[in-house]
Amino acid sequence: MKSTKKPPKTAKKTRKFRKPKIVQYVKFDTQRYRISKQIVFSVILIFAMGVGVAATLAYLQYMRFEIARTRTAIQSQQDENLRTQAEIIRHLSIEEISEIAQTRLNMHPPDVSQIINISVPRESYVVQSAAPANIETQNIFQAMLQQVRTWLGV
């Protein structure tokens, strides 16, 4: 009888290990995920920079508007100042200037109750310069009128 035994195996057969297809896809998806993450980050960064630039331009436009508005306000005040100076020059009489000061500017001479005299001892202050004796004192309106007349050469 013949024996049907197989001869003993001296070397084991080695199998090559193949990665399952799912592992290959996962690795590929990880690379794709990194790339897509970089793209999303870049898009968000570009969007944020665009919003920043738009906000800066809007602020600059607002400041230009404010500057223009301030310039027109200054110009209107300068025009009013010139008109007032021209009106003062036309009305050189002290009575008219006094009337304008009292009616429009609400300026009035002080009352007796508003005048306060303070006596200070001579040792407490120093006289810087003495006024010449030939100059008489004028009130403020007469002094302004005199100054305007000297400017005009009248």
| SS3 call for 4 | coil
Cβ contact 80:133 at 8 Å: no
Residue type at 17? F
> Alpha helices of the chain — where are they, by DSSP H?
21-90, 94-103, 140-152
Task: Please tell me the pTM assigned to this model.
Answer: 0.37
pLDDT in tens, the chain (154 residues): 555 666 556 555 666 666 656 555 555 566 777 888 899 999 999 999 999 999 999 999 999 999 999 999 999 999 999 998 888 777 677 787 788 888 888 888 888 888 888 888 877 777 666 555 555 566 777 777 888 888 877 6
